Structure formats: C-alpha cells, structure tokens
Structure 1
Amino acid sequence: MWGIELQKRNKISLARQIFLSLKQSILMGQISQGEVLPSTRELAKGLGVSRNTVCDAYDMLLTEGFIVSRQGAPSHVAEGLHITQKEVVSPKEHKRERPPIRWDFKTGQPDLSLFPWPLWSQMIRRATNTLSAQQLEYSGPKGYEPLCEEIAHWLMRSRSMDVNPEDIFITSGATQAFHLLVDILHKEGHAFALESPSHPGIRTVIQDRGHLLQWMPVDQQGADISCIRDKDISTVYVTPSHQFPLGGIFPATRRAALIRLASEKDFYIIEDDYDSEFRYSGAPVSPIYSMDSSRVVYVGTFSKTLFPSLRIGFTVLPKPLQAKWKHYRNFMDVQNPVLEQVALTEFLRKRKMDKHIQHMRRVYAEKRNVLLNAIEHSFSNAVQFWGDASGLHVALQFPGMEFGKQFMLNCRNAGIRIQPVSQYCSVQDNHKDKLLTGYGHLSDTQIREGVQALFELIAKNSSGSLEFK
C-alpha cells in the first residue's frame, strides 16, 4: 500500500520504516504536494500493523514538516518538498590484481611489535580511574599542563633544550601544527621557503591554500639558503637534525646565517625535528631552537618514538605567536583527547620514554647495519649512501640510473614497495637516481630478502652500464 514494504525482522522499527518510505516518496514527487494521506486507521489496516504504529510514523512526518495536519481535517503533504535528484555515475575502475606487498620499504614506520603495550595499557587504565569530572571538561587549546611540563623536562634530558612549559602547545601530531602555523605565519605576497626535496606534509598545506612557494635546493648538508636572501619570505621550514629525505645535518654556519636572515627580514623558522631521537653515532644533534628561541618554532611528535595512531605532538611557540595559535586552535578542534595525554605524562615522568628510546635506538642501529651490509653485498660499488647515521630510512644513490613510473610499477608488481626521492622534489627530474629504503618496521630476514629482490629487479631493468660486483 502506497509503495510501503515493511520488513518485520529489520532492526529499524515499523513506524520508522513507514516514515522513511513516505518521506522518500514525497521527496521524489511520487506523492504530490497537497495530496491527502490515508487515515491512520486505513493505512494500518492496509499494512497489517497497529494504528499506534502508523500514528507514530505520521508524528515523525509532522515533526519534520513533511505533512500538515489540522484538527478535524485529514493530513496532507506540505508544499515545496519535491527534489529532483540527479543520478551520480561513478567512473568505472579497472582494478588489476597485483601481487601482495612482500617487502615494504616505506619510511617513517616504527617497529610496533617492540612497544611496551602492557605497560601502556596499565597507564591508560590508571588515567581512566584518576581523571576527575573537571578534567573531562573542555580544557582549552594549550593542552594538558602536566604533559607540557614533562615534555619540557624530556627536551632538556634528550636535546639540552631549555624550554618554558608555558611555551609548549600540544597538537594532534606534526601535521596539525603545520596547518595552524601556515595560517598564522602567512604574509600576503610573501613565499614559504621549503627544502627540495622535502616532506609533503607542510608543502601540501601551503599549496592547498594557494600560497607562494620558494624552493631551497638540498645537498648533503641540508638546505642551501642562499637562494632566499633577496626574497620576500613568510617563513622558512627546515628539517635540520636529519633532513627528510636525504638525511643531511644542517651545519652551524648555515644555521647561524638562517637565524640572522630571519632577524633581518622579520620571519620565523619552523624547525621540524624529524627522526632526531634515533642517531646511531655520536650525541644527538642540537636543534636550531637552542641557538635562538625567539625566531624558531619547534615542532615535535611522538608518532615515531611511540606509535603513529597516538596522534600527540607538540609545538614550542615564541610568545608573540601564542594568542593567534590559541584563537585558531580553539575554533579548529579545541584540544586533544585527555586520556592519552595523561598516560603519556606518566610515561615521560617515570622515564619509560627514555628507556624505550634507548632500547629502540639499539634495535634500529642493528637493523640499519643489516640493511647496509645487504646492500653492499648485493650492489657493491654501484650504490652510494646519503645522510647521517640516524633515522628510520636510508637514501640510496645509483649513479647512472633513473627511477621513473615504469620502474615503480615493476617494483609494485614484484611485491616491493619503495619510494623514489624524486617524488619529494619540486622538479620531478631532480634526484631521479635515488631511492628511499625504510627499515624500522622490518625484520632482518625481510630486509635481506627485500634487498635481494630489489637487486634482481634493478639488474633486470638496468642497461648493463652498472657494475654490481
């Protein structure tokens, strides 16, 4: 009756099924505006349901304005409800069956199997049991204050950074920090200066907003800032402790020159401390922030030290930027979830973070050695390593080779996932002879087998000009 088909075993109640069916018919024009609906008794009899069920359905229609009802008169459809719906045709996708990924050299992926999950679970439970009702309310855009204090202590222990907890702001990872900073630091007609190659995170945010970009070429010592001396700059973004993706360390002379330029031209430096926790030879590299905190916005994250889905990062902000940050963050998402912040506070306070990083530094150093030995065994003098002995990936240069789309497709078909450096460049023709091999999440066996599979693929696709052994 009236096109209504009821499913009595459906999880949706019968009254709501009647409501949804009549609503759809009205919107599609199958029931005209002004048309009189059958009485509740008549429709109930036709559908084989109780009159109360139909009354409930009519009440829903009346509440949402689909029908008009007056005492003593039959209900009828309201005016102006017909909507012409265009059919959306999805493009046909021709999906090709591909072999599964067997050797995944993706970058920035920690070994999650070695994280102390039982200990973390205990801390989450304790946080759940100790949080007061007041702590479960909105706390504001700065973050959980005890966590800011523990991060300040941890930065002193791990980086020798003297940071006031008042200047630390908790974020949902580094990416959220980039979104906020691009809006805060943008100057009309001025460009954002980025490394090339560089991480796509902040680059994508800037490009999506249509802001100007100025690229700084990268060599084995990081960004060359000489190209921005005569430019109008909104801000400069660098990864000085372990340049992503080539791995160089920004030397003191370039750091000092960049700070002087920032002061002269009145812009801020965004320092993304990428992968700095995992350095395998010598002491940790000091951040630019330690040279001049007044011109540097320091961005850190716990995604690689703990686990990516934690989504807790932090930013150390100069005081002139803090009012704008609070305003933007307050109308973005207000704050991070408090439960994980409380657990992380305990994780830092009890030095479990220090212990975990020390352990993982040894583990990743061993994996790095396995990777380098496997590469040298397979490729011998045909490959050169880029970057400092740190981080969770190695950049490999194959002089004379070019890794384009076809090669990457061949890798994927062979069950290998690997990234060319060129995809992170402003000009795709740059660094075409380099590949990135992430290893943090791989076992020793996976590393050796993956390198051997990569060797066989490159040998098969090379022109014969390379001597592997």
Structure 2
Amino acid sequence: MWGIELQRQGEISLSRQIYQTLRDYIIDGQIKQGEALPSTRELAKQLTVSRNTVSEAYEMLIAEGFVISRQGSPTRVAEGLSLEKTPFVERTKETLPHPQSFRVDFKTGQPDLRYFPRYLWQQLFVKTFEKMPLNQLGYSGPEGLLPLREEIAAWLFRSKGLAVSSQDIFITAGATQALHLLADLLSTDGREMLIEDPCHIGMLRALQGKGYSMRPVPVDALGLQTDYLEGKGAGAIYVTPSHQFPLGGILPATRRAELIRFARDNNLYIVEDDYDSEFRYCGASVSPLYAMDPQRVIYVGTFSKILFPALRIGYVVLPLKLHSQWRYLRIHADVQNPPFEQAALAEYLHTRKLDRHVQQMRRLYGQRRQVLLQTLEETFVKVWHPWGDAAGLHLALEFPGLRFDSEFAQRAQNYGIRVTPVEYHSICKGKHLDKLLIGYGHLEPDEIRKGILLLHDFMKENS
C-alpha cells in the first residue's frame, strides 16, 4: 500500500529505510499535509518487520518535525513540507587527470624525496604518539605544541644564529597558510602590499585571494630594489631576502637597512619568507632580516623543502604586539595543526637528526648544482649566465637575446620538457623574457645531463 521496498541485506538499517521513504513521500507531496500515517502495528505487519523498527522510523520523523504525534491521535504529516522537484542533474563519472609525464622535469622547489628517511620518521611518529599526553589529543591551542616551538627556536639559533623566544613562534600548516593568516592580520582598508617583482606566483595568488591589492617593486640581481619603495598607500611588504625567488639574489645589508627604515617610517610590517636558505653551497646560511628588527619583521619558515612537501608544518615568528590577534584568527580558521606530526618533528629536531639530514642534502644538492653548471657550460658554451647566489633547489638562467614566454613553455611541454620562464612569475610582464628557471634538486646527475641536452636540442629547433 505504501510502496516501501526494503533492502533487507543492505547496510542501511530497516528503520532508516522506512524513515527515508516516508520523508521523501512527504517532501514530494505524495503524502499530503495533515494526512495520517498508519499505526506502527499496521505498517509493521504490512512490511513484515518488528513494530519497534517502525516505531524507530516514526521517532526519527517526529524528531525532525516531518510528522506530529499526539496521545490518542494518529500520527499526521506536518504542514508546509511539500517542495517542487528540482530538475535531475545527471552525474558524469569523475575522472581524475593523469599527471603529465615528461622526458625531463625541471620543476622548481622540489626536494628529492627518495632520500627522506621514511623508516626513521615512522619510528619517531610511533614513539612520540605512544608517549603523547592525553590532553594533547584535545585542543592544544593556536600556538602549536610547545616542545616543537622550543626545538624550532633552538634550530634557528644553531643553523642561522637567530635568537628567538619560543613564545614568539606560532606553528602553521605550511607557509601558504601563514600568508593567508598574515594577509588577514595586516589588512588595512585601501592599503596595498608591496611585493617583489618577479615573485612566487603561488604566494602572489594567495595574497590576492585574500583581497590584497599588490604593488610590485622591481628586483635586480641583488634582490628588492629599495630605491623604488614608496610609502603612500602601503600596508605591508613581502620579501624573500635570503634567496630571492625566483632570481636568487641575497639582499645586501645596505638595502636591508633601507627597507627597515622605510617600514619604520611608514609604520609597516615586513613579511620575510625564508623558504629554502638552509641549502646554501658557499658558506653558512644567510642571517634572516628578522635579526635586524624583530619588532618590525615577521619571519616565515617552512619544513616543506627540508623534509617533504606533504608535511604541512611551517611557522611564523611574530612581534609580541601581534600575538593576540594571531591567536584569534587561527582559532577561527582551523584552531591548530594536528599534534602527531608536530611531536614527531620536535623529536627529529631534538635528536639533531634534522641537522644531519640537511647537511647530507646540502652536499647532494651542491653536487647536482655543479653537474648542472658544468653541463650548461659544455652544452650552451657562452650564450648564458646564471643569476643569484649558490643556494636553493633551482637556478635562474639568462640567455641574452632569446625570448621565453608562455608559448615557449607550452611548446617545451609538448616536446616533453617542463621548464618555467621567469616571465611566469613576473607581475609586470616583459622585463625578464630572456630568463629560464631550472629546478634540479630532485634530479639525479644523469637526469640533469640528459635534460640539459634535450633542452638545448629543443631550443635549437625552435630558435
């Protein structure tokens, strides 16, 4: 009579199947408002189920307000529940795009994941989880785990000579989340963020997505050109002074002092993104800009390039004045990072295993850089020269007289080469058309040699 067909071997309980069918009939108008439902005993008999099963279905309908039940009266459909049917939208089968394969992939910012000590990390993860206090399985706060913040402070001191308090360190889900939160933290109506040009396009889009207007400041071989800074209408400054992305320069002390004076004079904060300065192949790591003015500079660090990108742990070092507002924003964004990776990373830092891993990878990447430079010298002879400091996981190359734009990049992809023109990361187009970015950290020496020869052949065919 009621057209209820039950799947008795299904995963959904019989009571919920009855509830769902009656609910849909009510919404579709097949059962009118005010109409009485059969008694639980009667419907149970029709469906050959227990009366308790039907009673449970009716209780769900009553709890959600689809029907009204009064003592001594039949259960009736509530008023105002009938809805017109919406047009059926046929769902096509979802097909995930297959990652494009390349004959050579010069992607930037990619560490070599083959050398990450997975078994050791797994051991640390299990060990720290077993020892984790019960209260850390709850909400531990927007600052991040204290042991990790203390270990990061110690890591910054021994690796960069940077003295910071663990109380000024706040854990984030990577540098991108840090920028999202900082955009909210520093936003001022009608103000612009000053940003290096060229800069990392992903970071640019992250800031633009938060509604910030961008004002590009040109970059040369030494980094941000402070002569082009203008304070009127500015709200904050984003820089990569230790290894400018993508051109690779180290901001010299005179420009750093000028930048800080500019920020002080215009009451601005400087966001310093230190994304990969651990991998420097000529001398020690560059001292952060933060060391020159901890109350004016916000330092952003990440472990994505040091360890592996899927480890979504970064951090910011904040001036005291911004602590409470940061906590408020983080609580209302996602509260905190999961504690498990934080605890494992704290132990990895505490045992100095991270230090040894960085030293190993620095040697490895340095050797690969030399292979890249030697192969370029042998293949392209004198028609190119590198930009920037000997650091990081990519190299910026200038080929005077040549032109590398989006069409070039697409033709290269069709040829089987992924390579990024600097133009892709430029805000004001046309100033760096003669430069390419070659990511090499994830490539073995033979892959680098074969890739450069392939790039040379492609450029020769398309010149």
Task: Kindly report which structure 2 residues correspond to 1:50-69, keeping only aligned pairs within 5 A, or say none.
Answer: 50-69=50-69
For 1:64 and 1:381, how far apart are their aligned partners in 2?
A: 77
Q: For residue 155 of structure 1, what is the aligned residue in structure 2? A: 156
Q: For residue 271 of structure 1, what is the aligned residue in structure 2? A: 272
The DSSP-based 3-state class of the residue aligned with 1:193 is strand
Moved more, 294-303 or 35-44: 35-44
Decide whether the 8 Å contact of 1:99 with 1:414 is kept in 2.
no
Render the CA deviation track for 1:295-328: whole Å, top value 9, x for unaligned. Answer: 1111111111111222111111111111211221
Change (3 A) 1:16 1:413: farther
RMSD: 2.6
**Structure 1 residue 297 and structure 2 residue 304: aligned?**
no
> What is the number of residues matched between the two proteins?
462
Render the CA deviation track for 1:146-201: whole Å, top value 9, x for unaligned. Answer: 22221111111111111122211111111121122112222223211001111234
Decide whether the 8 Å contact of 2:256 with 2:289 is kept in 1.
yes
Task: Kindly report which structure 2 residues correspond to 1:19-418, keeping only aligned pairs within 5 A, or say none.
Answer: 19-84=19-84, 85-87=86-88, 100-418=101-419
Moved more, 58-67 or 30-39: 30-39
Moved more, 76-85 or 312-321: 76-85
The DSSP-based 3-state class of the residue aligned with 2:436 is strand
For 2:100 and 2:299, how far apart are their aligned partners in 1?
A: 42
Decide whether the 8 Å contact of 2:231 with 2:262 is kept in 1.
no
Moved more, 418-427 or 441-450: 441-450
Q: Which amino acid aligns with 2:71?
A: Q
Decide whether the 8 Å contact of 1:98 with 1:413 is kept in 2.
no
Change (3 A) 1:373 1:16: farther
The DSSP-based 3-state class of the residue aligned with 2:207 is helix
The DSSP-based 3-state class of the residue aligned with 1:382 is coil
Q: Which amino acid aligns with 1:56?
A: E
Q: For residue 466 of structure 1, what is the aligned residue in structure 2? A: none
Moved more, 136-145 or 110-119: 136-145
The DSSP-based 3-state class of the residue aligned with 2:442 is coil
How far is the alpha carbon of 1:244 from its aligned partner?
Answer: 0.8
Change (3 A) 1:26 1:417: farther
Q: Which amino acid aligns with 2:263?
A: A
How far is the alpha carbon of 1:371 from its aligned partner?
Answer: 2.5
Q: Which amino acid aligns with 1:448?
A: R
For 2:109 and 2:3, how far apart are their aligned partners in 1?
A: 56
Decide whether the 8 Å contact of 1:179 with 1:202 is kept in 2.
no
Render the CA deviation track for 1:262-316: whole Å, top value 9, x for unaligned. Answer: 1111111111112100001122111111222221111111111111222111111
How far is the alpha carbon of 1:383 from its aligned partner?
Answer: 3.0
Render the CA deviation track for 1:102-153: whole Å, top value 9, x for unaligned. Answer: 4322221111121122222221122112122233332222222222221111
Q: For residue 18 of structure 2, what is the aligned residue in structure 1? A: 18
Q: For residue 8 of structure 1, what is the aligned residue in structure 2? A: 8
Q: Which amino acid aligns with 1:130?
A: K
The DSSP-based 3-state class of the residue aligned with 1:298 is strand
Q: Which amino acid aligns with 1:59?
A: E
How far is the alpha carbon of 1:394 from its aligned partner?
Answer: 1.3
TM value normalised by structure 2: 0.91
Moved more, 414-423 or 124-133: 414-423
The DSSP-based 3-state class of the residue aligned with 1:308 is coil
Moved more, 47-56 or 437-446: 47-56
Change (3 A) 1:265 1:347: same
For 2:265 and 2:100, how far apart are their aligned partners in 1?
A: 55
How far is the alpha carbon of 1:204 from its aligned partner?
Answer: 2.3
For 2:195 and 2:98, how far apart are their aligned partners in 1?
A: 38
Change (3 A) 1:4 1:325: same
Change (3 A) 1:76 1:114: same
Decide whether the 8 Å contact of 2:405 with 2:424 is kept in 1.
no
The DSSP-based 3-state class of the residue aligned with 1:216 is strand
How far is the alpha carbon of 1:367 from its aligned partner?
Answer: 1.8
Moved more, 81-90 or 54-63: 81-90
Q: Which amino acid aligns with 2:81?
A: L
Decide whether the 8 Å contact of 1:34 with 1:79 is kept in 2.
yes
For 1:31 and 1:380, how far apart are their aligned partners in 2?
A: 83
Moved more, 25-34 or 189-198: 25-34
Decide whether the 8 Å contact of 2:241 with 2:288 is kept in 1.
yes
For 1:458 and 1:25, how far apart are their aligned partners in 2?
A: 67
Decide whether the 8 Å contact of 1:178 with 1:201 is kept in 2.
no
How far is the alpha carbon of 1:30 from its aligned partner?
Answer: 4.0
Decide whether the 8 Å contact of 1:99 with 1:413 is kept in 2.
no
How far is the alpha carbon of 1:431 from its aligned partner?
Answer: 2.0
Decide whether the 8 Å contact of 2:201 with 2:424 is kept in 1.
no
Which structure 2 segments of 5+ residues have no match? none
TM value normalised by structure 1: 0.90
For 1:397 and 1:86, how far apart are their aligned partners in 2?
A: 57
Decide whether the 8 Å contact of 1:33 with 1:78 is kept in 2.
yes
The DSSP-based 3-state class of the residue aligned with 1:448 is helix
For 1:409 and 1:307, how far apart are their aligned partners in 2?
A: 28
How far is the alpha carbon of 1:95 from its aligned partner?
Answer: 11
Change (3 A) 1:385 1:22: farther
Which structure 1 segments of 5+ residues have no match? 463-469
The DSSP-based 3-state class of the residue aligned with 1:156 is helix
Decide whether the 8 Å contact of 1:197 with 1:426 is kept in 2.
yes
State, as a whole percentage, how many aligned pairs show the same letter: 53
Render the CA deviation track for 1:244-270: whole Å, top value 9, x for unaligned. Answer: 111111111111100111111111111
Change (3 A) 1:35 1:258: same
Render the CA deviation track for 1:45-98: whole Å, top value 9, x for unaligned. Answer: 554544433332222222222222233333332222233435558899999999
Render the CA deviation track for 1:354-403: whole Å, top value 9, x for unaligned. Answer: 10100000111122222233333333333332221110111223333333
For 1:91 and 1:455, how far apart are their aligned partners in 2?
A: 43
The DSSP-based 3-state class of the residue aligned with 1:194 is strand
The DSSP-based 3-state class of the residue aligned with 1:309 is coil
The DSSP-based 3-state class of the residue aligned with 1:113 is helix
